[in-house]
């Protein structure tokens, strides 16, 4: 059996393979394209394509595909074989540079938000050489960008790459002002922690709501959930361990740096975290990770749930986006060093992030807005919808000293004393971790904790990169004109702290007092739902910034606003229709059957013993009959409201109507059904209970 280092990246056409298979001149040209963004000559592309084909076919690949990320939230691929007819009636295996560089998938059925008419089918995929090709299911997958015939981005990779170039451009300007001429490139890096649930396929198949929507639309609270905190970091069950072992192997073959795995807080919930890599590759890897999780789970008789809130009353699943900025010389620009007060360069980049998050709170909220994530934000396992930054006591004290122009005396390292001589002594960190903050500084990076588990991390990083690039641009414009750099730098940092300190909060983000303070005193935004925040994507300040940074065009912004709202509307309508179907075809008939059984029991008891009151059965019968009447009434009400909104063609207005009518209807219907489930005999209830689902994996 091969060791991990022997098979790690074995299915990736990475730098090791290119160096071994490409002529030295071709390899240098490709590396220059990857490292510096220079244009790739068609002759070089032909050589790369030929080497890719030879490598892939040796590993059993028969097809190739341009693997891209349309605005559906998942990946897309169209497979073409390598075969070409030979004169003797056979075939040869060919793959050209033209096929490598450009593809032409039918774009008519992908979301475009009005960028082109349905009959305008042509779209293009363009090779992204900065993300390595890989083999999946005997197919060579080539990461690509996806655009329309008119050149508009129809994917998530293109604006992400643009945002990375924007922050690179502005960060280099800042570094040059500090006298750094060695750095040629600045890039952002991400390590996305991925949470998920594992349940058995048997339980999944018996729940229409899980099959159609990814979450349970009904479900009474089980006797035991996460109250004991015994699942978090607990012993991993054998079935889950076997899944994790195969998952790691499959991810490692694809060069995905899966590092940490553990049980999460809720029963049946788990987490996987990778080692950091550049944002573009991390995004590709996270999309692959989610896909492979689901495939490996199926092989083990399991289903991997990536919905943000698959079970009401227990923790949902998020994705923590750990983000940092680094130079090609290996310097982390968000690393404060031993004396952050004296590290002016670090403080300037820190202030750029603070300014960006405060100025563009709405864009960060928009970047994580989905119907699923709306259920999670503000609950006890997720940060609130209000954006704030956690810096910790020491950095906050440093910024306070700068703002007030007073000396900072520093915080002494405190040694941890554990009371046992044999245990090693170590210094305590100068600040604790804050798990309730949406955007927390954790030593040399920021952890953006608002992403939902099914989200592509591209959206959040597009907005984060763009906003920070804008802050750096403003700083560079001013500092380049300054006659006294040191004085201008000090004043800029000081003014940023004064102007944006409202966004810094080191306390408990779950406290209702904080939400009141944030919205009323600090005037921070609190967009609770997707319809609340998504239209603000088109606000003038946001559109101007994103266009000036070259990340989106006017048309692309409008299309994305339309697509994201449309996705929200469709997701909730599918959920509502699923609820109605479940109630009418199985739940109400089940309750009726049980009440008939109760009535029959009461009759038999009274016939056998006329003086018997049958008080328990009578009370239960009355309550259940009343509940079933309520379910029928709520069902009819929701159906009527669904009919009313069916004629609304404006996406934004439909979103508001769903928020204000359909969601309350769904909540009311669920409350009644869940109360009925809690008192209906198990053999009559048509679906597995929460307890059965959450504790089904062994």
Query: What are 606-625's pLDDT values in tens digits?
Result: 888 887 778 888 999 999 99
3-state secondary structure of 120: coil
The C-alpha angle 450, 456, 458, rounded to 5 degrees, equals: 90
How far apart CA 398 and CA 103 sit, in angstroms, is 53
The pLDDT of residue 105 is 67
CA 182 to chain centre: 35
The pLDDT of residue 534 is 96
The pLDDT of residue 411 is 59
Report the pLDDT averaged over residues 667-689.
97
Report the pLDDT averaged over residues 156-164.
96
Q: Which domains are delineated in the chain?
A: 4-155 (3.10.20.70), 163-417+439-552 (3.30.590.10), 569-694 (1.20.120.1560)
How far apart CA 367 and CA 158 sit, in angstroms, is 16
The pLDDT of residue 380 is 56
Strands 63-67 and 139-148: parallel
Report the pLDDT averaged over residues 172-179.
95
| Residue indicated by tokens 């015939």 | 149
Q: State yes or no: pLDDT of 51 exceeds 80.
A: yes
DSSP-derived secondary structure for 442-495 = -SSSEEEEEEETTS-HHHHHHHHHHHHHHHHHHHHHHHHH-SSHHHHHHHHHHH
Report the pLDDT averaged over residues 520-525.
96
The pLDDT of residue 432 is 54
The pLDDT of residue 341 is 59
Q: State yes or no: pLDDT of 141 exceeds 90.
A: yes
Provide CB contacts within 8 A for 158, sequence distance 6+.
Answer: 145, 146, 147
Q: State yes or no: pLDDT of 93 exceeds 80.
A: no
The pLDDT of residue 418 is 41
Q: 410 falls in which pLDDT band (50, 70, 90)?
A: low
Q: How far is CA 95 from CA 64, 100, 144, 321, 689, in A?
A: 9, 7, 16, 37, 53
pLDDT digits (tens, 9 = 90+) for 558-586: 999 999 999 999 999 999 999 999 999 99
Provide CB contacts within 8 A for 357, sequence distance 6+.
Answer: 364, 387, 389, 439, 467, 503
Report the pLDDT averaged over residues 314-336.
94
Q: 102 falls in which pLDDT band (50, 70, 90)?
A: confident
The pLDDT of residue 408 is 74
| Residue indicated by tokens 């201008």 | 488
How far apart CA 418 and CA 602 sit, in angstroms, is 65
Alpha helices (runs of H) in 258-377, residue ranges in sequence order: 279-299, 344-359, 361-366, 371-376
Q: Dihedral of CA 263/264/270/274: which sign?
A: negative
> Average pLDDT over the chain, rounded to whole?
90
Q: State yes or no: pLDDT of 413 exceeds 70.
A: no
Phi, psi of 186 (to 5 degrees): -120, 130
The pLDDT of residue 617 is 87
Pull the structure tokens for residue 184. 């040629």
pLDDT digits (tens, 9 = 90+) for 415-457: 544 444 544 444 545 555 566 889 999 889 999 999 999 999 9
pLDDT digits (tens, 9 = 90+) for 197-246: 999 999 999 999 999 999 999 999 988 777 677 788 888 999 999 999 99
CA nearest to 405, candidates 478, 340, 490, 496: 490
Do 394 and 340 form a contact (C-beta atoms < 8 A)? yes
User: What pTM was estimated for this model as a whole?
Assistant: 0.93
Do 170 and 469 form a contact (C-beta atoms < 8 A)? yes
Report the pLDDT averaged over residues 274-300.
97
The pLDDT of residue 429 is 52
How far apart CA 697 and CA 560 sit, in angstroms, is 39
Percentage, residues of the chain above pLDDT 70: 92
Report the pLDDT averaged over residues 15-19.
95
Q: 432-441, 450-459, 522-531, 532-541: which has the minimum mean pLDDT? A: 432-441
């Amino acid at each position: 059996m091969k060791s991990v280092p022997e098979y790690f990246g074995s299915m990736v056409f990475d730098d090791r393979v290119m160096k071994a298979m490409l002529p030295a001149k071709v390899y240098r040209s490709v590396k220059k394209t990857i490292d510096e963004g220079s244009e790739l000559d068609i002759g070089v592309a032909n050589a790369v394509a030929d080497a890719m084909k030879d490598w892939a076919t040796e590993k059993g690949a028969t097809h190739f595909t341009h693997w891209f990320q349309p605005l559906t939230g998942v990946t897309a691929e169209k497979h073409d074989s390598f075969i070409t007819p030979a004169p003797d009636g056979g075939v040869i295996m060919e793959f050209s540079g033209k096929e490598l560089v450009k593809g032409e998938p039918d774009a008519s059925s992908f979301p475009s938000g009005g960028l082109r008419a349905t009959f305008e089918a042509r779209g293009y995929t363009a090779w992204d050489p900065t993300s390595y090709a890989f083999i999946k299911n005997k197919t060579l997958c080539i990461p690509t960008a996806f655009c329309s015939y008119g050149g508009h981005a129809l994917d998530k990779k293109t604006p992400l790459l643009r945002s990375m170039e924007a922050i690179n451009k502005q960060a280099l300007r800042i570094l040059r002002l500090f006298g750094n001429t060695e750095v040629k490139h600045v890039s952002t890096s991400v390590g996305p922690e991925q949470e998920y649930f594992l349940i058995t396929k048997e339980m999944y198949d018996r729940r229409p709501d899980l099959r159609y929507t990814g979450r349970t639309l009904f479900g009474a609270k089980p006797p035991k959930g996460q109250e004991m905190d015994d699942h978090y970091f607990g012993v991993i069950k054998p079935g889950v361990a076997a899944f994790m072992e195969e998952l790691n192997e499959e991810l490692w073959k694809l060069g995905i740096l899966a590092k940490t795995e553990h049980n999460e807080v809720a029963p049946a919930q788990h987490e996987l975290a990778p080692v950091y890599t550049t944002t573009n590759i991390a995004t590709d890897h996270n999309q692959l990770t989610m896909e492979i999780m689901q495939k490996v789970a199926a092989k083990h008789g399991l289903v991997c749930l990536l919905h943000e809130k698959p079970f009401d009353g227990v923790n949902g699943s998020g994705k923590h986006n750990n983000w940092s900025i680094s130079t090609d010389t290996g310097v982390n620009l968000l690393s404060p060093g031993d004396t952050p007060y004296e590290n002016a360069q670090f403080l300037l980049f820190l202030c750029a992030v603070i300014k960006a998050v405060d100025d563009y709170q709405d864009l960060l909220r928009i970047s994580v807005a989905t119907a699923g994530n709306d259920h999670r934000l503000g609950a006890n396992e997720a940060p609130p919808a209000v954006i704030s930054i956690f810096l910790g006591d020491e950095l906050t004290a440093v910024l306070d000293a700068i703002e007030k122009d007073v000396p900072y005396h520093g915080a002494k390292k405190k040694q941890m004393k554990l009371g046992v001589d044999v245990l090693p002594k170590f210094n305590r960190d100068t600040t604790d971790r804050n798990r309730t903050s949406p955007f927390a500084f954790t030593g040399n990076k920021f952890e953006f904790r608002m992403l939902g588990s099914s989200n592509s991390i591209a959206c959040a990083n597009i907005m984060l990169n763009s906003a920070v690039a804008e802050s750096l641009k403003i700083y560079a414009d001013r500092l380049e004109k300054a006659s006294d750099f040191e004085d201008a730098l000090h004043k800029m940092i000081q003014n940023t702290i004064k102007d944006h300190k409202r966004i810094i909060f080191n306390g408990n983000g779950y406290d209702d007092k904080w939400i009141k303070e944030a919205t009323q005193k600090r005037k921070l935004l609190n967009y609770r739902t997707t319809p609340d925040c998504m239209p603000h994507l088109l606000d003038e300040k946001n559109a101007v910034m994103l266009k000036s940074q070259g990340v989106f065009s006017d048309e692309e912004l409008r299309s994305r606003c339309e697509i994201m709202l449309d996705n929200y509307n469709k997701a909730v309508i599918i959920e509502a229709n699923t609820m109605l179907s479940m109630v009418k075809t199985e739940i109400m008939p089940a309750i009726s059957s049980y009440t008939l059984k109760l009535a029959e029991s009461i009759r038999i008891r009274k016939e056998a013993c006329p003086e018997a009151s049958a008080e328990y059965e009578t009370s239960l019968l009355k309550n259940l009959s009343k509940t079933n009447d309520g379910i029928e009434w709520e069902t009819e009400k929701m159906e009527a409201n669904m009919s009313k909104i069916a004629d609304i063609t404006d996406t934004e207005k439909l979103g508001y109507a769903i928020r204000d009518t359909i969601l309350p209807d769904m909540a009311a219907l669920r409350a009644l059904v869940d109360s009925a489930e809690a008192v209906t005999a198990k053999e009559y209830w048509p679906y597995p209970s929460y307890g059965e689902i959450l504790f089904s994996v062994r």
